Amino acid sequence: MTTAEFGKAVRRWRDRVRPEAAGLPAGGQRRAAGLRREELAMLAGISVDYVTRLEQGRATNPSTQVVEALARALRLSEEERAHLFRLAGLAPPGPETVPTHITPSVQRLLDRLTGTPVAVFDATWTLLVANAPYAALMGDTSGRRGYERNGVWRHFLGPGTGARRTPQAQRDHEAALVADLREVSERYPADRRLQRLIAELRGGSERFAELWNAGAVGRHEGSRKTIDHPQVGPVTLDCDVLTVGGSDLRIMVYTAEPGTEEAERLALITVLGTQDLVGPAT
pLDDT over 70, % of the chain: 93
**Is pLDDT above 70 for 1?**
no
Q: Is the fold of 3-87 the same as that of 104-272?
A: no
**How far does Cα 207 stand from its chain's mean position?**
25
- Give the mean model confidence (pLDDT) for residues 80-89: 93
pLDDT over 90, % of the chain: 49
The three-state DSSP-derived secondary structure of 175-221 is HHHHHHHHHHHHHCCCCHHHHHHHHHHHHHCHHHHHHHHCCCCCCCC
Q: What is the pLDDT of residues 174-194, one digit of tens each?
A: 999 999 999 999 999 999 999
- Give the mean model confidence (pLDDT) for residues 192-198: 94
Q: For the domain covering 104-272, report its CATH number.
A: 3.30.450.180
Q: What is the pLDDT of residues 149-172, one digit of tens each?
A: 999 999 999 988 778 888 888 898
pTM here? 0.80
* pLDDT averaged over every residue in the chain: 87
Which of 75, 132, 74, 130 is closest to 103 using CA atoms?
Answer: 75
Q: Where are the domains of the chain?
A: 3-87, 104-272
- In CATH, which of 1.20.120.640, 1.10.150.130, 3.30.300.10, 1.10.260.40 is domain 3-87? 1.10.260.40
| pLDDT of the residue at 274 | 45
Question: How do beta strands 223-229 and 127-130 pair?
Answer: unpaired
- Give the mean model confidence (pLDDT) for residues 79-86: 93
**Is pLDDT above 60 for 281?**
no
What's the rounded Cα separation, in Å, for the pair 27 and 19? Answer: 9
| pLDDT of the residue at 6 | 93
The one-letter amino acid at 212 = W
Q: Which residue has the higher pLDDT, 130 or 212?
A: 212
**Is pLDDT above 60 for 279?**
no
**Is pLDDT above 70 for 24?**
yes
pLDDT-based confidence at residue 80 (cuts at 50, 70, 90): very high
The one-letter amino acid at 53 = R
**Is pLDDT above 70 for 40?**
yes
